[in-house]
Structure 1
């Protein structure tokens, strides 16, 4: 069991402290290589095209998402990792699964692609996505999904670039502070989401997968959160790992 956990671990930390240090040295200093189990993929994963801005113009409070991928064995950056992110919109809807995420479980998939994206990490192991603060849906705390591919290639499929080949070394989720989400819920378009929000400690996935260690630290870009936010998280993986997916829960 211990060996299995070792191969499926991830850590999320605030990397703002790394501004004036090397990623490797700072990662060791702030504990980026402390490991926690990988998370659930959920039923709404779908291939993502390569792009930084994943909003497709849909409304919400802007969020800049900076992710650094590290090799947990050495705390060294992992370049050329293919990083997928996906999330629901402000009203709790996932693209490609609009009907299902609205509760119509027999609904067919669709061709929408909002709030899905893929990027390749640079020499410092970093990718940057422009998105919005995610909304929420029944039974789940507010979260964003992430998947890290190693050894993948970018392939042109019908005019769009997608990752193919390689293997997945991490699948997980990270979360947001409930007090901040309370504030976000008071502004448009989030205020029109009438679904009762599940708080972090009410979410079985959050509690069983040590979600408290996966809270994304937030910085406001202006004096008010409505002016935009950013978060910097570090994902520490074993690039050689090919962990089994956990149970498929949204």
Structure 2
């Protein structure tokens, strides 16, 4: 599934998987950014972060360096170093897997694996991202591709963590609509040792660029969403999130290796509860 050749890529683009025709016409320009993280050690003993983990890439950029639009209604998110476990064809974590070549990854519900059909359990989370142009009075940007991925309730990553290397759940791609929005149905991520609860995401100008992945520097933005402490603690009382409360008690936003330079722009608005689930919303500005 992860080793498709150039012909497979062309085949994907000709299949018309969920708005491909619209996506292929989308264009955008922005600076190349990166993401960071410190997930659990994957099979094979690769250190957390791997060669693309914290400390590599263009360097962190905190909230103080965000760029305001002319009317002050939106701002770019901070730049992060390239993060591990993206499965976007980059060499992060010592892997070159490319889940973005899989046509089934274009989906809104990411709780199920496209290959095995297995699902992963946790408190429901509906995540909506809105992409806007900070150089155009915060106008919504349609036709761009947003890829998200995050850990399970146990703090593990599909495709990488021991026992779930055949799974690709909690990873998904969508195209922004006329309002610049995408919505994913997922679960609330767990908290693993050394990192604040978070969700990774990448933005590409088109599906053609996304299929090539991050290895060719086609990515417009790589960043992370910082989940709020109050709601995280409520979720982690659930027995499926074993160890998350302990890990959260051992870290703060100020000591996290990604969010320590400021997380205001990366923190979403949130509503709901740990019984029926939560809804998160965040606006992401890029220089369109």
TM-score (norm 1): 0.70
Query: For each residue in 1:70-98, what CA deviation from the matched residue of structure 2 results, as whole angstroms up to 9, or x when unmatched?
Result: 11101111111010000000010001111
2:239 is paired with a residue whose SS is coil
Separation of aligned partners in 1, 2:70 and 2:241: 38
2:232 is paired with a residue whose SS is helix
How does 1:1-250 map onto structure 2 within 5 Å? 7=31, 31-46=72-87, 47-48=99-100, 49-56=105-112, 57-74=119-136, 75-99=138-162, 110-153=165-208, 163-164=211-212, 167-191=218-242, 193=244, 196-197=247-248, 198-208=251-261, 210-220=262-272, 224-239=273-288
Query: For each residue in 1:229-250, what CA deviation from the matched residue of structure 2 results, as whole angstroms up to 9, or x when unmatched?
Result: 10111110124xxxxxxxxxxx
Higher relative contact order (CA 8 A, sep 6+): 1
Aligned-residue offset at 1:38: 1.9
TM-score (norm 2): 0.62
Aligned-residue offset at 1:226: 1.6
1:207 is paired with a residue whose SS is helix
Separation of aligned partners in 1, 2:206 and 2:247: 41
2:179 is paired with a residue whose SS is coil
Unpaired runs of 5+ residues, structure 2, are: 1-29, 35-68, 88-98, 113-118
Separation of aligned partners in 2, 1:114 and 1:93: 11
Q: How many residues of Structure 1 are paired with residues of Structure 2 in the alignment?
A: 198
2:254 is paired with a residue whose SS is helix
Query: For each residue in 1:79-120, what CA deviation from the matched residue of structure 2 results, as whole angstroms up to 9, or x when unmatched?
Result: 110100000000100011113xx9xxxxxx933201000001
More displaced, 114-123 or 179-188? 179-188
Which one has a larger percent strand, Structure 1 or Structure 2? 1
Structure 1 residues 181 and 168 mapped into 2: Cα distance closer, same or farther (>3 Å)? same
Separation of aligned partners in 2, 1:35 and 1:149: 15
In 2, are the aligned partners of 1:63 and 1:133 still within 8 Å (CA)? Answer: yes
Unpaired runs of 5+ residues, structure 1, are: 1-5, 11-26, 103-108, 155-161, 240-250
Structure 1 residues 144 and 67 mapped into 2: Cα distance closer, same or farther (>3 Å)? same
